[in-house]
Amino acid sequence: MMRIDVLTLFPEMFESPLSHSILKRARQRDIVQIVLSNIRQFATDAYRKVDDKPYGGGAGMVMMCPPVFACVEHVRAEAPEPGRVILLTPQGAPLTQAKVVELSREPRLILIAGRYEGFDERIREGLDAEEISIGDYVLSGGELAAMVVIDAVVRLLDGALGDEDSAAQDSFSDGLLEYPHYTRPEVFRGMRVPEILLSGDHGKIAQWRMEQSLRRTQQRRPDLYAAWLARRQAENKIPQNDKKQEIET
């Protein structure tokens, strides 16, 4: 079972996301153990202080070392694996599915969500932590980012997904966006389901879906499209893979 420790000033923020759907089921099935710790409980002074003014001056407050180190040391004593320490920060490396896959292979993660302007740099240095960002936009703290990491990682763990879901079938597994989906009714407010999907011709349907995936990826994510093209070209240089399928877009 994987263990994920979450160190935060707002453990209550995690309760609802961890109590629904895939995360709920994964915890019930002992696929993952998620332990929330409140950094404030490890404050070393009488006022429960966890932040202080930056040396050198400037706006905002900085998360202090002593409570964070004490909290990490406390959770580390609860299980034998030291755990890989991850700070959620806007300066971190952007989260990708490749990073998620890598994290899903660890026995233990220690995620630290910050508030205020950021962490004292000695937290990263002293805990040999890596920093992860979930994208180029401004959040109010690291909690939602930690939840994104947890959700993306846990659904990859063995047994976390139901039968109908499959991690292998996901968008990003082949580097293209998904084709459009439809379900009943056949006509809704004058909008028809594409005729081909009603034809029963599975070959034609597969071809249509591939074309739609390619078109959408080209239009919405030129970065992914370029990477897909480059990968396909590289693969086509291998003789065994020579039977190339031409797809018109």
What residues line the site for ligand 9D3 (CB under 6 A)? 88-90, 114, 117-118, 133-135, 137-139, 141-142, 145
3 catalytically annotated: no
- Residue 83 or residue 142: which is nearer to ligand 9D3 going by CB? 142
- Find the catalytic residue in 12, 102, 117, 125: 117
170 catalytically annotated: yes
CA angle, 120 then 123 then 128, to 5° = 145
CA atoms in the 13 A half-sphere facing the CB of 239: 0
Euclidean distance between the first and the last CA atom of the chain, given in angstroms as a whole number: 45
- Find the catalytic residue in 17, 54, 66, 90: 90
- Residue 4 or residue 88: which is nearer to ligand 9D3 going by CB? 88
CB of 101 to ligand 9D3, least distance (A): 19
CA pair distance 110, 114, nearest whole angstrom: 13
Give the residue among 172, 166, 183 at the shortest CA–CA distance from 213: 172
- Find the catalytic residue in 3, 108, 155, 216: 155
**152 contacts: CB under 8 Å, gap ≥ 6:** 95, 97, 100
CB of 171 to ligand 9D3, least distance (A): 21
CB of 120 to ligand 9D3, least distance (A): 14
Give yes or no for a contact between 233 and 177, defined as CB atoms under 8 angstroms apart: no
Give yes or no for a contact between 33 and 3, defined as CB atoms under 8 angstroms apart: yes
107 catalytically annotated: no
- Residue 59 or residue 238: which is nearer to ligand 9D3 going by CB? 59
CA pair distance 240, 243, nearest whole angstrom: 8
CB of 57 to ligand 9D3, least distance (A): 14
- Residue 37 or residue 89: which is nearer to ligand 9D3 going by CB? 89
223 catalytically annotated: no
- Find the catalytic residue in 106, 170, 178, 211: 170
Q: Which residues are known catalytic residues?
A: 90, 117, 155, 170
